[in-house]
Amino acid sequence: MSERALVFEGVGRRFGRTVALDAVSFSVERGTVLGLIGRNGAGKTTALRLALGHLWPDGGRIRTLGLDPVTQHREVTTRVALLSEESALYSWMTIDEIVRFASALHPRSDAVLAAKLVKDLDLHAAKRIRELSRGSRAKVALVLAVAARPELLLLDDPTAGLDPLVRREVLDGILDAVSGEGGSVVYASHLVHDLERVADRVIVLDDGHIRLEDDLDALKARIRRARAVFETDAPPSPAIPGSIDLAVDGRVLTVTAEATNGSLDASLRALGAREVTIESLSLEEILVALLREGRLKEPTHV
């Protein structure tokens, strides 16, 4: 059980002429949540389906829970669940029928857990899928995925398009059920706020390449924003070590930098700042700053 939950080594996959993933390497530690960030078409879905063995790589090596998802597909799908925004559900089945049907297909399915989840998520078992709202369908998909007690849960924007309240409910349900039991989660989304709440580590994917990979806490601890107030007009282009983004507005200089609190404070005061305020950034702000600076254009391993 010591192996990592997911390992990608130089994995590539094309769809015709389109390169979905280009020699991508990363790994997911057991019991952690990896956030895969990227725009639509960045390669997130491809990465998850490769991990499940639904797609086969054109090159490289994948190990999912130590298994080859191509040759050991059945074992992988037994221990891994995929939950996507477009989770396929049979519209003509009732919730009860689809839960029982899914249970019959899965040797690890936990009927008690499924029933509990149905109840907890306020779903009506007799209702047909086609009668459910989008949010309720997402909850049903969550029930089916979690009831299989996966060791690795692959989430492909499962809450996209849902209202914030339901999104939070679903996400909490996932974390409680999977992470709480020591399972691993790969959460691919373009909703950075959601991801920031749950991810231990983040990867930014763009055009099939990894642009950024880091622990979320470390990333947030390393990149900060300082607001410095000067007696007179702030210097237009000051040299600040680790600077990522600068904005001057009269006497106020706002700088985002990869630096410690102390060094950033010292650098600004050395420039003549009278007052320095340092604050942490949200993941989205960090990504925006990095994007502005152009750091995310090339593969980046921080």
Q: Which residues contact other proteins (rule: CB under 8 A)?
A: 49, 52-56, 73-75, 77-78, 81-82, 86-92, 101-102, 104-107, 148
User: For the purposes of burial, counting CB atoms within 10 Å of the CB of 41, is it exposed (0-12), middle (13-18) or buried (19 or more)?
Assistant: middle
| Shortest distance, position 159 Cβ to other proteins, whole Å | 18
Nearer to other proteins by Cβ, of 52 and 132: the residue is 52
**Tokens at residue 12, please?**
């590539």
What DSSP string describes 63-89? Answer: EETTB-TTTTHHHHHHHEEEEETT---
Q: Which residue number, 101 or 302, has a Cβ lying nearer to other proteins?
A: 101
Smaller CB distance to other proteins: residue 101 or 272? 101
159 close to 173: Cβ distance less than 8 angstroms: no
Question: C-beta of 82: minimal distance to other proteins in Å?
Answer: 5
**Shortest Cβ distance from residue 230 to other proteins (Å)?**
58
Rounded to the nearest whole angstrom, what is the least distance from the CB of residue 80 to other proteins in the complex? 9
Please say which residue, 148 or 283, places its beta carbon nearer to other proteins.
148
Task: State which residue, 54 or 295, has the beta carbon closest to other proteins.
Answer: 54
Q: Are strands 80-84 and 184-189 parallel, antiparallel or unpaired?
A: unpaired
Q: Which residues, at least 6 apart from 206, have a Cβ–Cβ distance to it below 8 Å?
A: 38, 39, 42, 296
What is the nearest approach in angstroms of other proteins to the Cβ of residue 127? Answer: 17
Give 75 or 293: the residue with its C-beta nearer to other proteins.
75
Enumerate residues 6+ apart whose C-beta is below 8 A from 176. Answer: none
The distance of closest approach from Cβ of residue 74 to other proteins in the complex, given in angstroms and rounded to an integer, is 5
Record the tokens describing residue 278, joined without a space.
């340092």
Question: Distances in Å between the alpha carbon of 60 and those of 11, 30, 56, 164?
Answer: 4, 21, 10, 38
Q: How many CA atoms lie within 13 A of 260 on its CB side?
A: 3
Q: Rounded to the nearest whole angstrom, what is the least distance from the CB of residue 235 to other proteins in the complex?
A: 56
Kind of pairing between the strands at 273-280 and 223-230: antiparallel
Which tokens in the block code for residue 111? 């009927």
Q: What is the DSSP letter of 128?
A: B
Judged by beta carbon, residue 54 or residue 168, the one nearer other proteins is 54
Round to the nearest angstrom and report the end-to-end CA distance of the chain.
28
102 or 117: whose CB is closer to other proteins?
102
Minimum Å distance from CB 106 to other proteins?
A: 6
Can you say whether the dihedral through the CA atoms of 171, 172, 175, 176 is positive or negative? negative
